[in-house]
Structure 1
Amino acid sequence: MAIIINKSVLSALWVTLSSTFSKAFSSMGEKLVWKQIAMVVKSTARENNYSWLGKFLKFRKWAGERVYQALLQSNYKIVNEKWECSIEVSRDDIEDEQLGTYMPLLEMQGQAAAEHPEELCLTLLKSGNTELCYDGQFFFDTDHPIILADGTEGVYAATALEGMPADIAKKYFEPFSEDKVRVVEEARNLISFKHLNLVATA
């Protein structure tokens, strides 16, 4: 006998489906590595401007007039985008209580949602030699301007390595389904885990 669809039935269904999605999403946490190469910044607006100081202030002995120091500021703007992956649930399946086939779909959806930021990050890394970043240079470049710890100007070299340690490569490949492996494979030769090379300018 078909069940009667009402608010309480739909609420219970929502809890079940959401729980399945959330468990699958959370299970991917330790397998993903995108947070090791990207910074998470909470956003509550349509777009966000991110600014940071490229030059730190230094104190001097006050003798005579004040000396005003100029600030070197860098910034970039990110416009938030919306993403979706929707699953349709048949009314007949709800009435006949035939929802078992949806659980694997919800698990796949949860895993895909967790993998999505990683796919975006690695795709960006793949374009590190062709797309410009905040300072108008390629991400993988040898002379990004920075301020060193002693207050002098320097450059930051972000360079790609030809290979990647086997244990790191495994962490990148393991979470990805077969259709996404290509993106990771193309990005792996661009990823540098030893790219800190600070050289003070004259």
Structure 2
Amino acid sequence: MAVVTPGLLQALFVGLHSDYKRGLENAPSQWQEVATLIPSAAASNVYSWLGQFPRLREWLGPRVLKDMQLHSYSIDNKLFEATVGIPRTTVEDDSAGVYRPMFEEMGRATGTHPDELIFDLLAAGFSTACYDGKNFFDVEHPVYPNVDGTGVAEAVSNMDVPATNAGPTWYLLDTSRSIKPLIFQERTKAELVSKTDPTNSDHVFNHDEYVHGVRYRCNAGFGFWQMAYASKQPLDAIHYGAARAAMRGMKADGGRPLAITPNILVVPPGLEGQALKLLAKDESGGNPWANSAKVLVCPWLT
């Protein structure tokens, strides 16, 4: 039986924190491929500039100041946690090592947490509003004929869902710009904190248990809907081509082409084979879509 001393606890939890860090660093992550990291310094961020694609004009006379269109789209930071308790008796009995895999897994879960937020939100795009008040994937996104956002809006679609026999969803994205189709907003970095002193922690004193927990403030939101297209049609050359054509034809208010360039095809694991075959290089050169996008197989999309 070990004598529980501050030195023993310090050595033990340095090791457990190292396990957590190893899991965090080795966690597989894909969210950076489809989302832009935006730091946050408050309870929420307001993205009033969404909806405006900047453009240059010939400078004739004084500069023309254009106010950002106010869409009042905001992302509220949420607080997340994960907690592990280790009984003091386990430390006394030299058995705390059995918790090492759990701490490494907690680090891995922390590392993949942004992925869960981002891809859960992407999947919820059919029922979750973006900056223009419409669902992120919708058939009625308003695009106005005048540059200042006035006139009778045209309804523009960035989705293709059949009335019957809808299949699994696949997504075509343009991630080539500084703002990607999704936003990962981070208020604080994830941190692992521990309570091990019974004189300073009521929980340790009352429960005879050392507590370790992760704290993370962040959230996910949508960027420009014009840079994403979702389809529940079969993943074949016809529907893939139609999705690309729809995205490349996207225009800003006033009719200016946005030069959208789809470069990532996001699919659930069940569509991996079809996606790779669709975009594979053909020795005969007969596949017009060969290497036209990168295939991203996402385990969070089921």
Query: If the length of structure 1 is used for normalisation, what is the TM-score?
Result: 0.67
Change (3 A) 1:159 1:33: farther
Secondary structure of the structure 2 residue equivalent to 1:84: strand
Contact 2:2 2:93 in 1 (8 A): yes
**Alignment-derived partner of residue 2 in structure 2:** 2
Quick one: which amino acid aligns to residue 119 of structure 1? E
Change (3 A) 1:199 1:123: closer
**Alignment-derived partner of residue 137 in structure 2:** 140
Query: If the length of structure 2 is used for normalisation, what is the TM-score?
Result: 0.47
Distance 1:14 1:94 in 2: 11
Structure 1 residue 146, shift from structure 2 partner: 7.2
**Alignment-derived partner of residue 19 in structure 1:** 18
Structure 1 residue 95, shift from structure 2 partner: 2.1
- Report matched runs for 1:1-202 at 5 Å: 1-6=1-6, 8-28=7-27, 31-52=28-49, 54=52, 56=54, 58-62=57-61, 66=62, 68-73=64-69, 74-142=71-139, 144=141, 158-159=158-159, 164=170, 194=244, 196-200=247-251
Secondary structure of the structure 1 residue equivalent to 2:85: coil
Greater alpha carbon shift after TM alignment, 128-137 vs 114-123: 114-123
Over the matched positions of the two proteins, sequence identity in percent amounts to 29
Secondary structure of the structure 2 residue equivalent to 1:127: helix
Aligned residues: 171
Change (3 A) 1:157 1:105: same
Change (3 A) 1:42 1:70: closer
Contact 2:19 2:100 in 1 (8 A): yes
Contact 1:140 1:160 in 2 (8 A): no
Secondary structure of the structure 2 residue equivalent to 1:44: coil
Change (3 A) 1:155 1:60: farther
Q: CA offsets per residue over residues 141-171 of structure 1, 9 Å max, x none?
A: 3564679xxx798997533686659xxxxxx
Change (3 A) 1:50 1:72: closer
Distance 2:32 2:124 in 1: 18
Distance 1:188 1:36 in 2: 19
Distance 1:100 1:160 in 2: 52
Distance 1:129 1:19 in 2: 41
Structure 1 residue 21, shift from structure 2 partner: 0.8
Moved runs in structure 1, 4+ residues, more than 4 A? 142-147, 151-157, 160-165, 187-190, 192-195
More strand by percentage: 2
Distance 1:86 1:188 in 2: 39
**Alignment-derived partner of residue 183 in structure 1:** none
Change (3 A) 1:44 1:67: closer
Quick one: which amino acid aligns to residue 197 of structure 1? R
Unaligned runs of 5+ in 2: 162-166, 172-229, 234-239, 256-302
Change (3 A) 1:158 1:15: farther
Secondary structure of the structure 2 residue equivalent to 1:102: helix
More helix by percentage: 1
**Alignment-derived partner of residue 172 in structure 1:** none
Change (3 A) 1:47 1:18: same
Aligned-residue CA RMSD in angstroms? 3.6
